[in-house]
Amino acid sequence: MATSTPYSHFSLILLSISSCVSGASIHRRLAVPDGYVAAPYYPTPHGGWTADWSESYRKASLLVSNMTLAEKTNITAGTGIYMGRCVGNTGSALRVGFPQMCLQDGPLGIRNSDHNTAFPAGITVGATFDKDLMRRRGEALGEEFRGKGINVYLGPSVGPLGRKPRGGRNWEGFGADPVLQAFGGALTVEGVQSKGVIAAIKHFIANEQEMFRMYNPFQAGISSNLDDRTLHELYLWPFAEGVRSGVGSVMISYNAVNGSACSQNSYLINNVLKDELGFQGFVVSDWLAQISGVSSALAGLDMSMPGDGAVPLFGDSYWMYELSRSVLNGSVPVDRLNDMTTRVLAAWFQMGQDSNYPSPNFDTNTQDETGLLYPGALFSPKGVVNEFVNVQANHADVAKEVARDAITLLKNINNTLPLKLNSTLKVFGTDAEKNSDLNSCSDQGCDKGTLGMGWGSGSARYPYMDSPIDGLKARGANYKFYDTNLFPITDKASPGDVALVFINADSGENYITVEANAGDRNIVGLKAWHNGDDLVKAAAKKYDTVVVIVHTVGPILMEEWIDLPSVKAVLFAHLPGQEAGDSLMQVLYGDVAPSGHLPYTIAKQESDYGESVELVGFQLGQPQDTFSEGLYIDYRHFNKEGITPRFAFGHGLSYTSFSFSNASISSVTPLTAVPPTRPAKGEVPSYSTAIPPASEAYWPEKFDRIWRYLYSWLDKSDADKAAAKANSTDKYPYPEGYSTVQKAGPAAGGAQGGNPALFDTAYTISVTVSNTGKVAGKAVAQLYVQFPTDISIDTPVIQLRDFEKTRELAPGESQVVKMRVTRKDLSVWDTVSQNWIVPNVGGDYGLWIGEASDKLGLRCGTSTGRCADDVKSPV
Ligand SMILES: *[C@@H]1O[C@H](CO)[C@@H](O)[C@H](O)[C@H]1NC(C)=O
Ligand SMILES: *[C@@H]1O[C@H](CO)[C@@H](O)[C@H](O)[C@H]1NC(C)=O
Ligand SMILES: *[C@@H]1O[C@H](CO)[C@@H](O)[C@H](O)[C@H]1NC(C)=O
Ligand SMILES: *[C@@H]1O[C@H](CO)[C@@H](O)[C@H](O)[C@H]1NC(C)=O
Ligand SMILES: *[C@@H]1O[C@H](CO)[C@@H](O)[C@H](O)[C@H]1NC(C)=O
Ligand SMILES: *[C@@H]1O[C@H](CO)[C@@H](O)[C@H](O)[C@H]1NC(C)=O
Ligand SMILES: *[C@@H]1O[C@H](CO)[C@@H](O)[C@H](O)[C@H]1NC(C)=O
Ligand SMILES: *[C@@H]1O[C@H](CO)[C@@H](O)[C@H](O)[C@H]1NC(C)=O
């Protein structure tokens, strides 16, 4: 989602134009490269065919069959930007008991609210590698969104996947691997929805950079051009798991895929999402991502947000009254409108929002108690808009646990950490202390003080910030703080002093530019911000013991200092949200051992990530971003090319050591080359397909309109004129491949997430993890699959498939950890048969277990059924 404070959308458009100018050099006009095609797929599959949603569809259909045209078109779009208390507000159908729905950002907490928790960001959650924490953070988020009366949580973000290390919004998701994203996303969906809140997993799909993402009157949004196998094996994977978890909504991204805007890409929505993945909820546009009325409806979009047309705030819409018109004139089949409406209502019933669901009690547009009810209307009644409901409960606890267990120890020479309480500390860097005016930058659009989150719609206001300096104070540490990023000349080092140097790296969403970075790290690159490298180097010159603490949205380059003899320890604290202080102290002082692991690879130089994942600069026409590396991003790329990273994906040290032993593998469901036949679709609601009388869309008499508010009614003459068209010879120019005949669905489908047989457990692996060191700690067992080497299909050397974090193990203590691989985990997407196939059923898959992608000591073989610890790892 994009918009911030009222009336900022013009600056949003201007910004995207000016970021063109400041972008890279001007290239020749580029078209979608040969071979990348956006094929048609019509019609939109009806929702309701899976058993787990049938009761909600039954309830929804009872309402839909009684709704008028104007009621149906009222609940499938927003009432306009800034036309209500939430960032998105649908129309209502009060006659049948359906209220307006409130949609609100964002992934890490309630955006633009009060008395809420600022949770750690997705990337931090990914770094915990802890499934239980992923789920519990989701539950806490769900409680807060429900408590504020929000129907739809605009999260989790699993796209961007993290293909581009400079990408501005990678930090909102869980890391640069589809399986890590999948667990993070699905467990967040389950947690949030367990509290009755609809989750909207986003951004569908291949939304890998911020610059040029949006369509505007002068330029088409960037086109991500990727092949079918890459789509399935990387970018779609976490969405499939989110759908499998029953997600109620999917948000469509701004960009195009293969030249066709995602908001009206029938292949992606109708085929991939709704037929193959069996998605039963509603598809919502990203804010102002919709660029057409009839086309987007036919392509499978179900809800337009915030409802406005090409130029927001003028009362124009692609849907609302235009959708009423499109149905009356016969261009959008009644059948499609009924399906859209049923999907919205079914999601609402599915989460139980039809009983005792609170109404919004906060306002995203103002922090004042009273304000305009419709700020977008210019002339608006005023009223109480903020009721200051405190929804924080004890959520600070889980927030702190996530922040703490994400902290990733990258280097620790001679047990420099943990610190002793009597150590004399010198603290450098403005990142150590919070910005004294904590929420002064709208949507956190600045890098001042401790970096707890990136900027943009995925931010939240801090209720407070427990900073590292607060943490040191609370511990009674012996420290002196230099609140500067320039090394102080006055500083005097005494022998034994420890220098703690705080540096950071920020990024965010494209509508805000921070220190010249237009969302992506397009200017600063992967370097630490505010001359962080120089600060570390200066401290390393004076002090024998330097500990570097990094708050960051993603990888940074550290070659200038990582090998300096006095840089003894490095901690990545990621983006901890409000709980930056004590979470860090618990690790620094050894109350707990660090247990985070890197959710991405840290390279020695940026070019090591590969050329094709660089940011795309300005191009005349539609910017083209071709994913020519295919499956080879992040560690898949490093391993293929044999490039040694500075720190590998999954790396993370502890204060203790662990051994992995006594592994065993058992076969559960025998593999077959092709999965068993999918189940057929179940029954879906059926309705009359006759075009309703035009009178169902007439304005009611004496209705008191709010100026520029979006309504679904038409003037009588307009409605009649549209209805007359339905019988004229004037027909809508339907796209190539258009059809209204429902399909049986692809072989790879059959249930939410795809053919249920894909998720059959093929093998379980158990391994004993023992604490072989001197202090307590938690280990992460990571399981990577290596495809049989004798197959003709190119596959990455290793791919993460499962992981499990142990409980805190005392020295000498062990825990048996169980992991599993599914049929899908051992399959490749076959573009010809359009199915997941096991390339060699009897082949010897290597299931590698260890504590990092480059530290895999155990191998279990599927054909031998044995596990061994004396095999050389492939990485
Ligand atoms: C994009 O084009 C490629 C190459 O033809 C094709 O494999 C893929 O399925 C297309 N993807 C979409 C979403 O249309
Ligand atoms: C809805 O139900 C009421 C009461 O049964 C009926 O009077 C009305 O005509 C129905 N409306 C529609 C649009 O079906
Ligand atoms: C559409 O929603 C608005 C806002 O809740 C409401 O004022 C209007 O009456 C609704 N229209 C219909 C047809 O129910
Ligand atoms: C029906 O109305 C829609 C919305 O205004 C318009 O885009 C479409 O072209 C119309 N269809 C015909 C056949 O005129
Ligand atoms: C670690 O400690 C040992 C023993 O005190 C010392 O010999 C060695 O030089 C230290 N290593 C580093 C890298 O400081
Ligand atoms: C700090 O305390 C430790 C014991 O915890 C002791 O060995 C060490 O000498 C003390 N250092 C200083 C500088 O007082
Ligand atoms: C080895 O693992 C098996 C379970 O796979 C367990 O029953 C057994 O106790 C373990 N042995 C040791 C020595 O940990
Ligand atoms: C269009 O034609 C159908 C029958 O073909 C008729 O029932 C309907 O009333 C006509 N609509 C208008 C607006 O003339």
Domain boundaries of the chain, sorted by first residue: 396-649, 659-677+754-868
- Ligand 1, from 255, 258, 266, 834: best to mutate by most atoms within 8 Å of Cβ? 258
Closest ligand to the CA of 324: 4
φ, ψ of residue 75 to 5 degrees: the values are: -100, 0
Per-residue pLDDT reduced to its tens digit, 333-345: 999 999 999 999 9
Closest Cα to atom 5 of ligand 2: 66
* Residue 260 CA, closest ligand 1 atom number: 14
Closest ligand to the CA of 34: 1
pLDDT at 29: 57
DSSP annotation of 267 reads: I
Pocket of ligand 3 (CB under 6 A): 70-71, 74, 79, 91-93, 100, 712
Which two tokens mark 352?
């139980």
Instruction: State in Å: Cα 736 to ligand 7 middle.
Output: 61
- Ligand 7, from 658, 666, 816: best to mutate by most atoms within 8 Å of Cβ? 816
pLDDT at 730: 87
User: Whole-angstrom Cα distance, residue 794 to residue 636?
Assistant: 12
**Antiparallel, parallel or unpaired: β 382-384 and 370-372:** antiparallel
Which residues of the chain are under the pLDDT cut of 50? 3-27
State which H helix or E strand residue 266 sits in. helix 266-266
Three-state DSSP at 96 gives: helix
Strand segments, DSSP code E, in 606-749 are 624-626, 658-667
* Residue 662 CA, closest ligand 7 atom number: 1
- Ligand 6, from 420, 498, 589: best to mutate by most atoms within 8 Å of Cβ? 420
Instruction: State in Å: Cα 298 to ligand 4 middle.
Output: 13
pLDDT at 1: 55
Closest Cα to atom 9 of ligand 4: 732
Task: Provide CB contacts within 8 A for 64, sequence distance 6+.
Answer: 72, 338, 341, 342, 345, 685, 687
Per-residue pLDDT reduced to its tens digit, 755-796: 999 999 999 999 999 999 999 999 999 999 999 999 999 999
DSSP readout, 510-577?
TTS-BTTB-SSSTTTTTSPSTTHHHHHHHHHHH-SEEEEEEEESS----TTTTT-TTEEEEEE----T
Torsion sign (Cα): 439, 441, 448, 209: positive
User: Whole-angstrom Cα distance, residue 714 to residue 560?
Assistant: 65
pLDDT at 304: 98
* Residue 93 CA, closest ligand 3 atom number: 14
**Antiparallel, parallel or unpaired: β 855-861 and 846-852:** antiparallel
pLDDT at 11: 38
Task: Provide CB contacts within 8 A for 394, sequence distance 6+.
Answer: none
Closest-CA residue to 562 (of 572, 552, 577): 572
Under a CB-based contact definition with an 8 Å cutoff, are residues 48 and 346 in contact? yes
* Residue 496 CA, closest ligand 6 atom number: 13
CATH of domain 396-649: 3.40.50.1700
**What number of H helices and E strands is found in the chain?**
18, 28
Under a CB-based contact definition with an 8 Å cutoff, are residues 570 and 652 in contact? no
Closest ligand to the CA of 703: 3
Three-state DSSP at 606 gives: helix
pLDDT at 775: 98
Closest Cα to atom 11 of ligand 6: 422
DSSP annotation of 272 reads: I
pTM beyond 0.85: yes
User: Whole-angstrom Cα distance, residue 276 to residue 75?
Assistant: 26
Residue 413 Cβ contacting ligand 5 at under 6 Å: yes
For domain 659-677+754-868, give the CATH superfamily: Immunoglobulins (2.60.40.10)
Closest-CA residue to 599 (of 388, 402, 463): 402
Chain-centre distance of CA 647, in angstroms? Answer: 24
Pocket of ligand 1 (CB under 6 A): 35-39, 227-228, 257-258, 267-268
Catalytic residue positions, numbered = 286
Which two tokens mark 562?
């990582």
> What does R_g of the chain's alpha carbons equal in angstroms?
27
pLDDT at 870: 87
* Residue 68 CA, closest ligand 3 atom number: 13
Residue 490 Cβ contacting ligand 6 at under 6 Å: no
